[in-house]
A = this chain, B = another copy of it.
Amino acid sequence: MGHTPYLRLDVAVMEANIAAMAVHAAGAGLALRPHTKTHKCRQIGARQLAAGAHGLTVATIGEAEVFAEVCADLFIAYPLWVDTDDAARLRALADRGVALRVGCDSIEAAAQLSGLPVEVLIEIDSGHHRSGVRPEDAGTLARHVADAGLAVSGVFTFPGHSYSPASPAQAAVEEASALATAAASVRAAGGECRLISGGSTPSAGFTTGGVLNELRPGVYVFGDAQQLELGTIGFEQVALTVVSRVVSHAGGRVICNAGSKALGADRAPWASGYGRVLDAPDARIVALSEHHATIEWPGPLPALGSSIAIVPNHACNTVNLADEYVLSTGGSWPVAARGRNH
């Protein structure tokens, strides 16, 4: 028990989630490279590797520096813009024996990477419309990157448009189609395309081998309220909650002390509220302040002072607010990469 609010991790549920994704990936013929931005915790990364992951994914150089302590094969799945200082940090990681891959979606960014000991994956847009080139443009960019003296080993995407009800299956189809186009474009331009990497937690279950050969889901390790409401998981697969205390019954509702500074303020347009209550599926978190969650609660209200476990909407942002996990098995693990945005 920590002071409320605190981050509680059900280790058995997490281990079941890790094992299930490993089985799915192996069955589909996909190498699994989990995204560690979700948990930011070395102990959890080590468990994913022990369960068969062939490397880890990170979002920033700072996360790579943390996970280099447990893994020598890291993919910074981000279109890095590397300055002199960043270049020195990447070299230092390589000097520690870490095999590094980085993302790239422009000639200009590739020029910044020139001479560095990294493999490059071309980022493509498979429908999320964030970073990444059009699939049919991957070959042209790959040739320019190779001309800059860099090793291009493949293409990657994040099918973030899977984050909408009824979209996950369709997003997986579009991801595979876009990656197939991109790989063909790279090969037509005379390049190698050994790695074809995608994946998100909502789409992962719909992803089979054939086009992709690598999967990078992140949130599956914990589950969260977004995954519940997308239908990806059930409550029994939720490993992470924010344990809070009921501090008020004002207005006939439950007010507890986990607000946006503990849960995060994420709320997708299709979400039913600012998170879910683990043991009260019909309760709805209708408002969130920094230190208050306002919950409409059917039936008798839980007593003032009692504990409420809240399933956050978006686990990745929740974890980044905490310094440690309080484990169901006793003890705690540090959120070692908290705040490592650069």
Q: Which residue of B lies closest to A129 (CB)?
A: B251
A residues at B contact (CB < 8 Å): 2-6, 37, 59-60, 62, 78-81, 83, 85-86, 105-106, 108-109, 112, 125, 129-133, 160, 245-251, 255, 257-258, 260-262, 264-267, 287, 289-292, 294, 304-305, 314, 316-317, 320-323, 339, 341-342
Q: Which B residues touch A342, using CB under 8 A?
A: 2-6, 257
Task: Evaluate whether A341 and B261 lie within 8 angstroms (CB atoms) in the complex, with A109-B304, A290-B316, A304-B81 already known.
Answer: yes
6 contacts between A and B (CB under 8 A): A4-B342, A108-B304, A132-B250, A262-B341, A265-B267, A320-B321
B290 and A37 contact, CB distance less than 8 A: yes
Most buried by B among A81, A249, A262, A314: A81
Q: Which B residues touch A109, using CB under 8 A?
A: 247-248, 304
Q: State how many angstroms separate the Cβ of A102 from the closest Cβ of chain B.
A: 12
Q: State how many angstroms separate the Cβ of A340 from the closest Cβ of chain B.
A: 9
B260 and A317 contact, CB distance less than 8 A: yes
Is the contact region of chain A dominated by helix, strand, or loop, or is it mixed?
Answer: loop
- Beyond known contacts A3-B85, A80-B247: 6 more, CB 8 A cutoff: A37-B291, A106-B248, A106-B304, A257-B341, A261-B339, A265-B266
A305 and B108 contact, CB distance less than 8 A: yes
A59 and B291 contact, CB distance less than 8 A: yes
Q: Which residue of B lies closest to A338 (CB)?
A: B339
Q: State how many angstroms separate the Cβ of A303 from the closest Cβ of chain B.
A: 8
Q: State how many angstroms separate the Cβ of A61 from the closest Cβ of chain B.
A: 8
Task: Evaluate whether A266 and B260 lie within 8 angstroms (CB atoms) in the complex, with A108-B304, A323-B339 already known.
Answer: yes
Q: Which residue of B lies closest to A268 (CB)?
A: B265
Q: Which B residues touch A246, using CB under 8 A?
A: 81
Q: Which B residues touch A79, using CB under 8 A?
A: 247-248, 255
Most buried by B among A6, A322, A339: A339
Q: Which residue of B lies closest to A290 (CB)?
A: B316
Name the contact of A320 in the complex, choosing from B108, B129, B261, B304 (C-beta under 8 A): B261
Name the contact of A248 in the complex, choosing from B105, B248, B323 (C-beta under 8 A): B105
Q: Which B residues touch A305, using CB under 8 A?
A: 81, 83, 108, 112
Q: Which B residues touch A129, using CB under 8 A?
A: 250-251, 287, 294
In the complex, A129→B294 CA distance in Å? 9
B291 and A78 contact, CB distance less than 8 A: yes
In the complex, A314→B260 CA distance in Å? 11
B81 and A265 contact, CB distance less than 8 A: no
B130 and A314 contact, CB distance less than 8 A: no
Task: Evaluate whether A265 and B314 lie within 8 angstroms (CB atoms) in the complex, with A131-B250, A339-B322, A342-B5 already known.
Answer: yes
Q: Which residue of B lies closest to A340 (CB)?
A: B261
In the complex, A105→B320 CA distance in Å? 31
Q: Which B residues touch A132, using CB under 8 A?
A: 248, 250
Q: State how many angstroms separate the Cβ of A161 from the closest Cβ of chain B.
A: 11
B81 and A245 contact, CB distance less than 8 A: yes
In the complex, A194→B67 CA distance in Å? 56
Q: Which B residues touch A291, using CB under 8 A?
A: 37, 59-60, 78, 341
B339 and A131 contact, CB distance less than 8 A: no
In the complex, A305→B245 CA distance in Å? 45
In the complex, A79→B259 CA distance in Å? 14
